[in-house]
A and B are shown apart, each in its own frame.
Chain A
Amino acid sequence: MKLGRVIGTVVAGKKLDAFTGEKFLIIQPLDENLQPDGEPLVANDTQQSGPGQLVTYIGGREATIPMGEPFNPSDAAVTGIVDEVETP
């Protein structure tokens, strides 16, 4: 998993059937110091997260698992909303 900041939402009226009912977010990937790192990406939401929130997300095949339709082409999914990153 990686850390990311939700910077927006995506509305797609016409999309693959496998994406029906799914909410999509724009995520700015962050590095371990919570600084922006790389290009924003679109991820499907599993946690009712919204813009401004710090989240963990997972890329690759694992991103398809939380979605309702098992055969879907998602490549990033939010897995949790971060309360705190503790680096004592």
Chain B
Amino acid sequence: MKIARVLGSVVCTLKLEHYRGEKQLLVKLLNPDGGEASDYAVAFDRCGAGKGDVVLLIDEGNSARQVLQTGPQGVVRAVCVGFVDSVDLSRPQPGSFGG
């Protein structure tokens, strides 16, 4: 999963049949420290997110098909699945595993 901030929504009238009724969010990916990463995504919403919210983003097809229950023919990849309240970046101590 990735962390992203919601920038707004993308409205499409003409779209694939199984997208009907789904809200599409424009999200900017974030680094763990809260800074903006370079990438963005148009993602479906499964948590009721709006502009400014920091969300957990799935960016993988099979997981997205499960969450959206589209069946194997779902043309989906990015889905917002939760709100991020906080991120704790523990700094590795010198000499510790990974430090």
Name A's B-contacting residues (CB within 8 A): 1-3, 31-32, 46-49, 56, 58, 60-63, 65-66, 77, 79-88
Chain B contacts of A66 at CB under 8 A?
A: 16, 75
Q: Report yes or no: A47 in contact with B15, Cβ–Cβ below 8 A.
A: yes
Please give the distance in Å from A20's CB to the nearest CB on chain B: 20
Given A65-B74, A87-B51, 8 additional A-B pairs, CB 8 A: A2-B42, A58-B76, A77-B75, A81-B14, A81-B15, A83-B12, A85-B10, A85-B26
Chain B contacts of A86 at CB under 8 A?
A: 8-11
Q: Report yes or no: A58 in contact with B11, Cβ–Cβ below 8 A.
A: no
Give A61 to B72 CA distance when docked, in angstroms: 12
**A32-B28, A32-B40 are contacts. A62–B76 as well, Cβ < 8 Å?**
yes
Which residue of A is nearest B42, CB measured?
A1
Chain A contacts of B19 at CB under 8 A?
A: 79-80
Chain B contacts of A81 at CB under 8 A?
A: 12-15
User: What are 14 A-B pairs with beta-carbon distances under 8 A?
Assistant: A2-B41, A3-B26, A47-B14, A48-B14, A56-B12, A56-B15, A62-B61, A63-B75, A79-B16, A79-B75, A82-B11, A83-B11, A87-B26, A87-B51
Q: Report yes or no: A3 in contact with B10, Cβ–Cβ below 8 A.
A: yes
Chain A contacts of B13 at CB under 8 A?
A: 81, 83
Q: Report yes or no: A31 in contact with B40, Cβ–Cβ below 8 A.
A: yes
Please give the distance in Å from B25's CB to the nearest CB on chain A: 10
**A79-B15, A81-B13, A81-B14 are contacts. A32–B75 as well, Cβ < 8 Å?**
no
Residue of A3, A47, A66, A86 with most chain B CB atoms under a 10 A cut-off: A86
| B42 interface neighbour in A56, A77, A83, Cβ under 8 Å | A56
Give A80 to B19 CA distance when docked, in angstroms: 9
Q: Does B81 contact A (CB under 8 A)?
A: no
